[in-house]
Amino acid sequence: MGSLIELSNVSLIYQTGWLRRKAGAQAVAGVSLSVGEGEISALVGESGCGKTSVGKLALGLIRPTSGRVLYMGKDIWGRDGKHLRPTGQIVHQDSYAALNPVRTVYQTLAAPLRRYGVARNKVREEARKLLEFVGIMPPDYFLDKYPHHMSGGMRQRLLFARAIIPKPKFIVADEPVSMIDVSLRISVLDLMLKLKEELGIAFLYISHDLATTRYFAKNGKLAVMYLGKVIEEGWMEELLRQPLHPYLQALLSAAPVPDPRIARERKLMPLKETEPPSAASPPPGCRFHPRCPYAKEPCTQEVPPLVERGSGHRVACHLVDSIPPWRLI
């Protein structure tokens, strides 16, 4: 199946200062990734590594400094000057900020339903069906409620209800469950899986948290970002089985495991520094080298390219062949 969205060697430098003339952070540095129709792709990495910027680039909300963003094979910032808007939606982590606090659930859904062609006398019925579909039950109870009457999980469901009204082909879910209670996270991820299965919506799932990512994207692809660059990518199952980059190995060794015996006995991979350096002045060579326990001479000088290690598994590390295989303990 062809790619729905494709980023090809995309970079983004934010302009800052007076009249935005000063080059600020290089938020994205030569990223290539794709999301197929009806597929799930996930992007993980620490805060500030450029995930949200990639999400906005994929939706055509910001223009890349260089590189191309393709939607169904067409350059969305094409040379003819026309800007093609992909039929995608974004759902952010902060449902409170994304919803108008003085609008009821009904009003939140009614405006887009009208805009997308639902007759005035059918709007309430359609809103009721949408609430039922996303699991806001009973719909009649919630229709006249305000966002502050609802739990974080319910508000996030409402955002998904609103997002599917334009019948999007894909959704960028940017940390969609990081602000809601841990006990409710799985049910919201299951709702997203239902949108994929029943409506064929493709997802770019963005998170700093491997636990929710591995649940949601277990049959999909994973790209791991570090300071604006993708440092490892491939099918989720393969990356979890055999992580090759020291950064992904470190993320996995710090991720929670259900077995308390393993949790007690496993060794955490020691990183040299705890704070990541800033995107405004990334280190030369491999951007991970100040924290990497294996860093040697070439790492401080040369940027490691992403190289294929079989069946779509790619990694950017000079010393990948000499790094010990990762084990949970």
What gap in Å lies between CA 36 and CA 302, rounded to an integer? 32
Query: Given the complex with ligand SF4, which of 86 and 246 has the nearer CB atom?
Result: 246
* Under rule CB under 6 A, residue 231 binds ligand ADP: no
The residues that bridge with 74 in the sheet, in sequence order, are 71
Residue 318 interacting partner from ligand SF4, ligand ADP, Mg ion, none (CB closer than 5 to 8 Å by kind): ligand SF4
Q: Which stretch binds ligand SF4 (CB under 6 A): 9-17, 169-177, 255-263, 314-322?
A: 314-322
What gap in Å lies between CA 295 and CA 17, rounded to an integer? 35
| Torsion of Cα atoms, 151 then 146 then 98 then 168, to 10° | 90
* Under rule CB under 6 A, residue 317 binds ligand SF4: yes
CA max distance for the chain: 70
- Edge-first strand order for the sheet with 221-226 is 88-91, 170-174, 202-207, 40-44, 221-226, 229-235, 314-315, 307-308
Q: Per-residue string for binding with ligand SF4, 190-229, x by CB under 6 A? A: ----------------------------------------
* Under rule CB under 6 A, residue 23 binds ligand ADP: no
| Torsion of Cα atoms, 139 then 204 then 283 then 69, to 10° | -130
| Contacts for 120 with CB less than 8 Å, ≥ 6 apart | 114
* Under rule CB under 5 A, residue 26 binds Mg ion: no
Q: Are strands 170-174 and 88-91 parallel, antiparallel or unpaired?
A: parallel
Written as one letter, the residue type at 254 is A
* Under rule CB under 6 A, residue 29 binds ligand SF4: no
> Please, are residues 11 and 3 in contact by the beta-carbon 8 Å criterion?
no
* Under rule CB under 6 A, residue 64 binds ligand SF4: no
Closest distance of CB 247 from ligand SF4, Å: 6
Residue 286 interacting partner from ligand ADP, Mg ion, ligand SF4, none (CB closer than 5 to 8 Å by kind): ligand SF4
Residue 289 interacting partner from ligand ADP, ligand SF4, Mg ion, none (CB closer than 5 to 8 Å by kind): ligand SF4
Q: How would DSSP label each residue in 186-252?
A: HHHHHHHHHHHHHH--EEEEEES-HHHHHHHTTTSEEEEEETTEEEEEEEHHHHHHS--SHHHHHHH
Query: Given the complex with ligand SF4, which of 33 and 292 has the nearer CB atom?
Result: 292
Closest distance of CB 117 from ligand ADP, Å: 34
Ranges within 49-88 binding Mg ion (CB under 5 A) = 52
Which one among 38, 48, 112, 290 touches ligand ADP, defined by CB under 6 A?
Answer: 48
Query: Given the complex with ligand ADP, which of 27 and 323 has the nearer CB atom?
Result: 27
Which one among 196, 289, 313, 314 touches ligand SF4, defined by CB under 6 A?
Answer: 289
* Under rule CB under 6 A, residue 52 binds ligand ADP: yes
Q: How would DSSP label each residue in 115-154?
A: HTT--GGGHHHHHHHHHHHTT-SSHHHHTT--GGGS-HHH
Residues found near ligand SF4 in the complex (CB under 6 A):
245-246, 286, 288-289, 292, 294-295, 299, 304, 317-319
Residues found near ligand ADP in the complex (CB under 6 A):
14, 16, 24-25, 27, 45, 47-53, 279
